[in-house]
Amino acid sequence: MAGKVFLVGAGPGDVSLLTVKAKKLIESAETVVYDRLLGKGILAMIPPSARSVDVGKRGGRHTMPQEEINRTLAKLAGEGKQVVRLKGGDPFLFGRGGEEAFYLRERGIPFEIVPGVTSALAVPAYAGIPVTHRDMASMVHIITGHKKEDMPLDIDFKALTAAGGTCVFLMGVSALPEICQGLLFGGMAEDTPAALVSLGTTAMQKEILGTLKTLPEKVKKEGVKTPAVIVAGQVCACMEKLHWRTDLPLSGRRYVLTRPKERTEKLSEKLKELGAEVIELPAVSTVFREENRELEEALCRISSFDILALTSPTGAEYFFRYMQKMKMDIRRLFGVQLAAIGEGTARVLRERGLYPDYVPQVYDGTSLGILLRNSAKENAKILLPRARAAGPELTQELAGRRDIQVTEIPLYDTVPGKHPLINLEEEIRTGEVTAAVFTSASTVRGFLAMAGEADVSLVRAYCIGEKTAKEAEKSGMKCAVAKEASVEALVEEILEDSKRAACGA
């Protein structure tokens, strides 16, 4: 198959601002060439199985020269690879995407441009700055603030200020004093509002508002991290009234989601809607047992069982997947009672028109075991397909009834997760990761494995149940526990804990 390069704009940092096409390309990528400017949440979306090439572009510092990047893209495409070239913001706005496209075209290599949301517009918007406004600015100028070492900025400030409107500078933190002096020299007034927004659209976003005269000193005093966007013009004054990002209840907070990727979407979306930055970093992954003779035999005699007990949404979905593999009609479950460990598992059943007969009030193995032990008929036969490494609590409770016969079948395996582009140990040490969400004891163990030697007591753990919390507490993490084992209750606990933290409780 012929190779092709996709020059993809990854936006300013917030995963939610990826275009639909960019998201699809990233999640299905086999080969990725990326800049370090990308947000952690976007890096985490790259499949761990993908071949990833770090070209090291950030803030003017390049570990790989542009000429070598060009050659790398051509070489990979020449090998027949579908190459996703990930660039922060938009590939054609100060991203040197045009140079890469010309290089590929000259060598007859197919390419496609996938535009991205540029930080020049998105970052001011997240800070409450409309770059144009009918009463303040009828035009906007986007300028690179990057300059070569020991060289002055190559900007005609007099022409820029004479044109009027809003000035947005990218890659200009180190040149901020010169930019402000240049605009003053060009004719802007000293009291013209000016702002710097650092790490815009992420949980670490920081805004500094001043004037052309005061902004450089304010930035020097407060300190900022790159990347940052500088905005000059009357529209900057709108920040004080149009701030919205900081009004969201989870604004400024970043959470690592540790549950398997296929079960992350609902929780991730709810947290993002509340203003949180989310990094989906599965601490475990599930491996479906494609060949399962024990399960096949059990399904062939499914009518001989009195109860089918399902202990996780993943297990429920895998069970029905195996039924489909065997071309078994759902009606074969007629006469078999259904037990679900909690609301998430029950939802998988209801989606197939099945309503569980048993759901414990407390969503854990012990409670389900007690419920079945007390409710199952005499000499009941229970089919229990679940993870190979499932906890013993459920079967221990059922063992209290000698007449109950349990057929436990490994349905899938859980293996520790790992992402080659996210160094969780370093993220914890530098304070980039301070909160994680756990939905099972296995996700806690997987998280600890990825955390290495980092001090995990610095991480706040949000847990879906007491068993999960006990596993987290053993490592020194301080825990907040959802009132019940559901995504909704977990989000509610995160919200309440955020409010308590804001009040200093």
| Cα-Cα end-to-end distance for the chain | 60
Q: Helix-strand-coil percent breakdown of the chain, rounded to 5?
A: 40, 20, 40
- CB 477 within 8 Å of CB 461: yes
* Among 14, 40, 57, 261, the one annotated catalytic: 57
Active site residue 1: no
Measured distance CA(69)–CA(74) in Å, rounded:
9
Closest CA to 322 of 285, 287, 356, 290: 290
Q: Is the dihedral of CA 113, 115, 119, 121 positive or negative?
A: positive
Helix (H) or strand (E) holding 279: strand 277-280
Cβ neighbours for 499, distance < 8 A, ≥ 6 positions apart: 249
Instruction: Give the 3-state DSSP-derived string for 10-76, with helices as H, strands as E and coil as C.
Output: CECCCHHHCCHHHHHHHHCCCEEEECCCCCHHHHCCCCCCCEEEECCCECCECCCCHHHHHHHHHHH
Measured distance CA(199)–CA(203) in Å, rounded:
8
* Among 40, 87, 90, 171, the one annotated catalytic: 171
Active site residue 171: yes
Active site residue 57: yes
Measured distance CA(376)–CA(387) in Å, rounded:
23
- CB 411 within 8 Å of CB 24: no
Phi and psi of 19, rounded to 5°? -75, 160
What number of other Cβ atoms are within 10 A of residue 178's Cβ?
Answer: 18
- CB 78 within 8 Å of CB 110: no
Helix/strand/coil for 488: helix
**Sheet containing strand 307-310, strands side by side:** 284-288, 405-416, 381-387, 307-310, 337-340
* Among 35, 188, 239, 364, the one annotated catalytic: 35
Closest CA to 53 of 78, 28, 36: 36
- CB 311 within 8 Å of CB 442: no
* Catalytic residue IDs: 35, 57, 171
